Structure 1
Amino acid sequence: MNYLLLTFACLSVIVGTIAAELADHHVEIRKKCSAENHLDKVSVNAVYLANPKSNCYLKCFLESNKLINAYGEFDIPAALMLMDPSIREQARPLAEKCDRYNSKIEDLCDKSHAVIDCFFKEAPALFPQLGIFEPPQL
């Protein structure tokens, strides 16, 4: 009986871990982009955005998700598809606004940062659900 309980407990932990990783589609991209840009782990999105290293981290994150091309054009429909369905319609006008306001910035690192920072400032309650710096908090 004890073995059965132990087996069930182990399976529960494994299934929970797998489910969490499946819900967080960006975990490997965050690891890769953090390492490439020497961005240390912190736990507050605002702290990340204040770090100058976050500019190119965000470019890496957006490129890796195929959300920005080499010309600096954002693929808003693709970005919305990566979001949780419960926030897509609320996020659409913000994404369009932030992209439009920052369309003249030529440097892709700076542009990526400006667009994401705009979204953070415009929708601080939605931002943690995007999973850009940390796992999505739904």
Structure 2
Amino acid sequence: MKAFSCSCCILLSLVIFINADGIVEHKALREKCRDETKLTDDDIKMSATISSNLGCYLFCFLKDLQIMNDKGMFDPSVAVNAIEEGLREASKPAIYACSDLVSKNESNGDDCETAWKLISCFKERAPNLYDLMGILQPPM
């Protein structure tokens, strides 16, 4: 139960962070990453499984938010600091857990796969909050 609560806190924190600058900014980011990866809106909305292009879309999104760098490295301390101050401490355990999980299961230098694994970790730990993150489409 404690792990679930921490997972909910992390995703809620990411939702607040991602929505903090407004939907308009992230709409432009979603469009930029969609165009860079040559995906359509339907490809993104209908993606129950992650294709390599969707992984690259996720990498683009996280990189532009400076949560991942150009080399595909995820820095959990940067992710924590990007979250609203009042929620940072509660978010740390889940952020670091996903970071540890991804680093232990190396992605063979595939930045897109690394991004996919990070987002999949968040989705698995708190599926009810995943749609609120605004990564694949505007928050519901």
TM over 0.5: yes
Higher helix share goes to which structure? 2
Q: How far, CA to CA, are the matches of 2:121 and 2:46 in structure 1?
A: 12
- Which deviates more, 105-114 or 68-77? 68-77
Tell me which residue corresponds to 2:110.
107
Tell me which residue corresponds to 1:64.
64
What is the identity percentage for the equivalent residue pairs of Structure 1 and Structure 2?
29
- Structure-to-structure mapping, 1:1-138, within 5 angstroms: 23-24=22-23, 25-42=25-42, 47=47, 49-80=49-80, 91-103=91-103, 104-105=106-107, 106-137=109-140
**Conserved? CA contact 1:34–1:40, under 8 Å:** yes
- RMSD over aligned CA atoms reads 3.1
Q: CA deviation at 1:52?
A: 3.0
The number of equivalent residue pairs is: 118
Highest Rg: 1 or 2? 1
Q: CA deviation at 1:31?
A: 0.2
Tell me which residue corresponds to 1:10.
none
Unmatched segments (≥5 aa) in structure 1? 1-19
Give 2:68's aligned amino acid. Answer: I
Q: Which has the higher contact order (CA 8 A, sep 6+)?
A: 2
**Conserved? CA contact 1:59–1:113, under 8 Å:** yes
